[in-house]
Amino acid sequence: MPKEVDHDQRRNELADAVLRVVARGGVGSVTLREAATEAGWSTGALNHYFHGKRDMLEGALRRAMHLIATQVREAHRLADSREALVRMITSVLPADETRLGFARVWLSFCGEAVAMNDIRTYLATSDVAWRHDLAAVIRRGQETGQFAPDVDADWVSDCLGALSDGMSIRTVLQGHRLTPRAAKETVRSWVDALVPAPASVRVPQGSAHS
């Protein structure tokens, strides 16, 4: 009997290969042949799953965003709202080789989004959902008494989203990897400054990173 093909798995494998090519050389370096070689498949197999280069790039972007969103959802489930917020933001920062690759991919596609409406819309929609999730955790922390009640959750989520974007861009442009410890300490500083605990239980200065 012929071997049954898991088409979703194969599509993901091909998308992962495209992401590796983009991470190394940017969107402009991607060709169907190079992506197929990276995946270990023929160009015919690639064409079976993606209809040209643009469709292939969009598929790779969606794969990257799916992998990031999975990490964010896992962090979102943490019972401690402060830890959930820190973990959600840290999970998108380039603190290891995989996430550094994602950051390079994301930044490359941001450039492509200037001329590609579908990608621009997709990135904008993902960004709105990301900041909405951050705001939801902040509100949850306010309800449980972890965060000060007078903080504007939407404003803070915008700030945290912009800070994480800026950190990712700076890390990619400087050509080095942000260490996990540095990423976590930086994010904790942001969270402590933007969403402090209520006055009666404020964290003493200097103890946030202990």
Assess if residue 201 is contained within a domain.
no
What are the DSSP calls for 57-71, one per residue?
HHHHHHHHHHHHHHH
The angle formed by the CA atoms of residues 133, 59 and 88, to the nearest 5 degrees, is 20
Assess if residue 167 is contained within a domain.
yes
Short-list 208, 163, 157, CA closest to 185: 208
Measured N-to-C along each axis, helices 7-25 and 32-39 cross at an angle, to the nearest 10 degrees, of: 120
Number of domains in the chain: 1
Assess if residue 205 is contained within a domain.
no
pLDDT at 5: 59
**Alpha carbon separation from 105 to 16, 58, 99, 156 (Å, rounded):** 11, 11, 10, 26
Assess if residue 35 is contained within a domain.
yes
pLDDT reading at 205 higher than 50: no
Assess if residue 180 is contained within a domain.
yes
Assess if residue 86 is contained within a domain.
yes
Measured N-to-C along each axis, helices 117-143 and 153-174 cross at an angle, to the nearest 10 degrees, of: 130
pLDDT, one tens digit per residue, over 41-78 is: 888 888 888 888 888 888 888 888 888 888 888 988 89
Total residues found in the chain within this entry: 210
Assess if residue 60 is contained within a domain.
yes
CA distance 133 to 157: 8
Question: Tokens 């590796």 correspond to what residue?
Answer: 20
pLDDT at 4: 58
CA distance 158 to 145: 21
Domain membership of residue 75 as a residue range: 7-196
CA R_g for the chain: 20
pLDDT reading at 103 higher than 60: yes
Domain holding 31: CATH number?
1.10.357.10
pLDDT at 1: 44
pLDDT, one tens digit per residue, over 173-194 is: 887 777 888 889 999 999 999 9
Assess if residue 152 is contained within a domain.
yes
Residue 161 φ/ψ, nearest 5 degrees: -65, -45
pLDDT at 87: 93
